[in-house]
Chains A and B, each alone.
Chain A
Amino acid sequence: MWLTRPLQERSTQVFLGVLFAALVVVSALHLFMPEDSALYVSSYTVTLLGKYLCYALLAVAVDLVWGYLGILSLGHGAFFALGGYAMGMYLMRQIGDRGTYGDPILPDFMVFLNWQELPWYWHGFDMAWFAFLMVLLAPGLLALVFGFLAFRSRVTGVYLSIITQALTFALMLAFFRNEMGFGGNNGLTDFKDILGFDLRTDATRLGLFIATGIALAIGYVICRGIVTSKLGRVSIACRDAEARTRFLGYRVERVQLFVFVVSAMLAGVAGALYVPQVGIINPSEFSPLFSIEIVVWVALGGRATLYGAVIGAILVNYAKTVFTGIMPDAWLFALGGLFVLVTVFLPKGIAGLLHKRRKAETAEPTPAQEATA
């Protein structure tokens, strides 16, 4: 079965091993170390690591489409944010009458912009199962429609990148509008609890952190499953020689669509786990800059390796946490420099450095093919 196949391969076993070890260690240090101990992991750090893991999952999603399908999506932030909003709406509904105005139904921002009743698309989000379904469906559907149109008319390569960017930009503008009923610029915040657990307790935070870790593991296995399957090899075929793949009888646009949708849904899950941990979702997650940043995490880690994406995401964001602390001005220089250096001198990223000889699917497409892809 395609999903179990990855579990037999060593690299995946190693990855999962490291991941779960990290989860256990962090939890242990957090729970059993005394506060003042040097090894104590505060709930602050736990949440921070949780955030990194969300980004890691997001990066894996991007690597799936970019690394294996050659589709450079500059709009994955949109899917991430949509998942986040779906979760955010659920959390808002959970507040119930504990909001500032004590309105049992309407979220605060609707009350003081005196909305009369709940917009239709807010209904159902008080039920966890529905909200969590939406976490998958909202990004999935967007990806399906957008991808269907784009791939059908064979919009690929640079054009696709640019219109994905336009897509997320348009969504950002849209969500900034207060008429949209998503809280405008302020977004959704001041969450109280999730599935009955108080979000303000360390226990819940640890729980979310572990949940994120598991989500990452599952997401990773799914992606591995796809790329190690024959479909994965077909994807690479589409990436490197689209026309040839067609003449072999594969419906390239459907392959692209399928992988794109899966990736979008993974991104959505990442967003959904991100929101309760950082405590806010607002339109800035849609900003094109964020989407491009994701791509650079992947590029740095090494595309078409999946675990490279994880490394890249964690590394860059950890660097960001440190840098913005010690020398804020230098951060943009560092990030910008990273973009340039990685793409020019490190086309295969860190993973490329790690392995000299690589497994077949991770080979870099040649210029000629890239140009056509």
Chain B
Amino acid sequence: MSIKKHVKLGLSALALSVSLNSVAAEDPIKVGILHSLSGTMAISESTLKDTMLMLIEKQNAEGGILGRQLEPVVVDPASNWPLFAEKARELLAKEKVDVIFGNWTSVSRKSVLPVVEELNGLLFYPVQYEGEESSENVFYTGAAPNQQAIPAVDYLMNEIGVERWVLAGTDYVYPRTTNKILETYLKDAGVSADDIMINYTPFGHSNWQSIVSDIKKFGSTGKKTAVVSTINGDANVPFYRELANQGIDAADIPVVAFSVGEQELSGIDTGPLVGHLAAWNYFMSVDSDANYDFIDAWVEHTGKEDAVTNDPMEAHYIGFNMYVEAVKKAGTTDVEAVKDAIIGVAVPNLTGGYATMMPNHHITKPVLIGEIQDNGQFSVVWETPSTVAGDAWSDFLPGSKDLISDWRKPMKCGNFNVVTGSCGGKAEVASN
């Protein structure tokens, strides 16, 4: 009996491959969208999928690119990291997409990276991340640490006069790296080691009592204290609640968060949070016509009056437009051509400025510091005078301070070591 089953399985598996094979349409430009639509990350990522669909719709309405329509190809990696790699392979090998927009978490990017490099695809990654990476095939439209963390710390140090620092984060690579960078940065700025407190908590940590009370103690020495929070997602609500309940408000110990945006706030009773800070490259409350138009479009697309926009959405907005420009410039969707063409492309961002693609595949962004308001929005209290260029390799990590990345010919290297003058480990990868 089992034979039949097996054969059937074999066939059906083949059938799957077949069906996928046969759809290799020439005409439209295929845009792969690789965002989790189910599982834990669906909360954040599904909106990015909708953003992409909205942008593609708009572009098509304007006649597509080079007279070719765009066709979105949506897959669901289901918040499962190995599945990200598998789906990426599906998009590139089967669907033969011309470009992929996707990923949120660092781990999902790390799992996709080898696939994209092997099959020489294009990936636009829209979320702020820990840096320490530069791939020929990936374009980082989110913030690198020097485009979010460091300016935020500067603000606290110079404008608020913070002298004591709590670096609190969820225990994964982004907070770890960011805090390492900040630690070095602060020490270089003359902050003594015992004025820095570092703390890591697991994902979804909900019992913040003792940590918050430690922070309280740490902050009661007379020196102005601030918390730099890289706490991720679900853990934030109980954290802010506990802060409020233990009577710590923004005036005493401000918390500046890098992972709390409009969307996260929509699930929080913002009353107790008012005045706490967040550092992003975009806020929904930004007062620019480009932004207001984007919001209107978004509200129409979702059909929800209270739909919110956030920083990664802007990143996709920028990334998408950059890709469009690059293809126009190159006159083709050929990956190599686009890769060359896109460097130096500048498109308007939503904060009234321009974003330019740098040779290291990171972009220029303004850095905004916002204070949380009771309506779940941020009011911008500070911004960098000019835009900041993303830095793939942090100058504050021993391992990477000598590395630079430049994907223009002739260097074409993601981790060129300026001391040894040689291109690091990725050399042969770039060549194949």
Contact = CB atoms under 8 A, between A and B. Distances in A.
Interface string A101-138: 11100000101111000000000000000000000000
A44 B17 contact: yes
Interface string A326-366: 00110110000000000000000011001100000000000
Contacts of B21: 36, 38, 40, 42
Given A45-B14, A98-B428, A328-B38, A280 B202 contact: no
Nearest to A40: B21
Contacts of A29: 14
Contacts of B1: 354-355
Interface string B68-79: 000000011110
Contacts of A279: 82, 85, 111, 114-115
Nearest to B94: A44
Contact of A328 (B5, B78, B110, B172): B78
Interface string B393-417: 0000111100100000000001101
A9 interface: no
A49 B89 CA distance: 14
A97 B429 CA distance: 12
B176 A39 contact: no
Nearest to A314: B9
A164 interface: no
Contacts of A355: 1
B425 A100 contact: yes
A282 interface: yes
A47 B89 contact: yes
B415 to A, nearest CB: 6
A98 B75 CA distance: 32
A284 interface: yes
A5 interface: no
Contact of B82 (A190, A278, A350): A278
Interface residues of B, number: 67
A118 B250 CA distance: 42
B78 A22 contact: no
A145 interface: no
A45 B7 contact: no
Interface in A238-283: 278-280, 282
Contacts of A354: 1-2, 5
Nearest to B19: A38
B94 A42 contact: yes
A112 B17 contact: no
A184 interface: yes
B93 interface: yes
A18 B82 CA distance: 28
A45 B38 contact: no
Given A40-B21, A111-B399, 15 more contacts: A17-B3, A22-B10, A25-B10, A36-B21, A45-B17, A98-B425, A101-B399, A113-B176, A113-B177, A113-B180, A114-B399, A173-B202, A184-B172, A189-B113, A354-B1
28 contacts: A40-B21, A41-B14, A42-B21, A44-B17, A45-B14, A45-B16, A98-B429, A101-B400, A102-B417, A112-B132, A112-B180, A112-B400, A176-B203, A184-B172, A185-B106, A185-B173, A185-B203, A186-B106, A187-B107, A189-B110, A189-B113, A191-B114, A279-B115, A280-B82, A284-B80, A328-B78, A329-B37, A355-B1
Interface of A: 11, 14-15, 17-19, 22, 25-26, 29, 36, 38-45, 47-49, 51-52, 95, 97-103, 109, 111-114, 173, 176-178, 183-187, 189-191, 200, 278-280, 282, 284, 307, 311, 314-315, 318, 321-322, 324-325, 328-329, 331-332, 350-351, 354-355
